[in-house]
Amino acid sequence: MSKITDPIADYLTRIRNAQKAKHRVVDIPASNIKKEITKILKEKGYILNYKFEDEVNYQGNIKIALKYHPETKTPAIKSIKRVSKPGLRQYCDSDNIPRVLNGLGVAILSTSKGVMTDKEAQTQGVGGEVLCYVY
């Protein structure tokens, strides 16, 4: 088994690919940060549901039920993009938190107070690493 250098990029790519292939459910190896991102995606209505399966193996799995528009069958996530990469980290302070699609999208940040959306970080007055943009 090969070691993944950027697990978050892998996570986002699996969601993107599953949506392109019109899958209903996608399985992703779990980690604490991925679980937090998954909770945010559900909270913001980008995915239908999720389930953390910890008993499968040591690492565990995240099962994500993808969300599509009922009539047009278009995915709820139009774009999901990695911002901060292992080779080039992107940080922002509480004053310069990026707005995604003029506030319509969500930037997910990893802060000292945990993983949160751009708006939560603004409210709490914390900055951090910009993990990804979703809209």
Closest Cα to residue 81, out of 13, 23, 25? 13
Whole-angstrom distance, CA of residue 123 vs CA of residue 60: 32
C-alpha R_g of the chain: 15
Quick check: 130 and 81 in contact, CB under 8 A? no
* Fold entry, domain 7-66: Ribosomal Protein S8; Chain: A, domain 1 (3.30.1370)
Q: What predicted TM-score, i.e. pTM, was given to this entire model?
A: 0.91
Domain boundaries, the chain: 7-66, 80-134
CATH code of 80-134, in short, is 3.30.1490.10
Whole-angstrom distance, CA of residue 99 vs CA of residue 119: 9
**Each residue's pLDDT expressed in tens, for the chain with a length of 135 residues:** 566 789 999 999 999 999 999 999 999 999 999 999 999 999 999 999 999 998 755 788 999 999 999 999 999 999 999 999 999 999 999 999 999 998 889 999 999 999 999 999 999 999 999 999 999
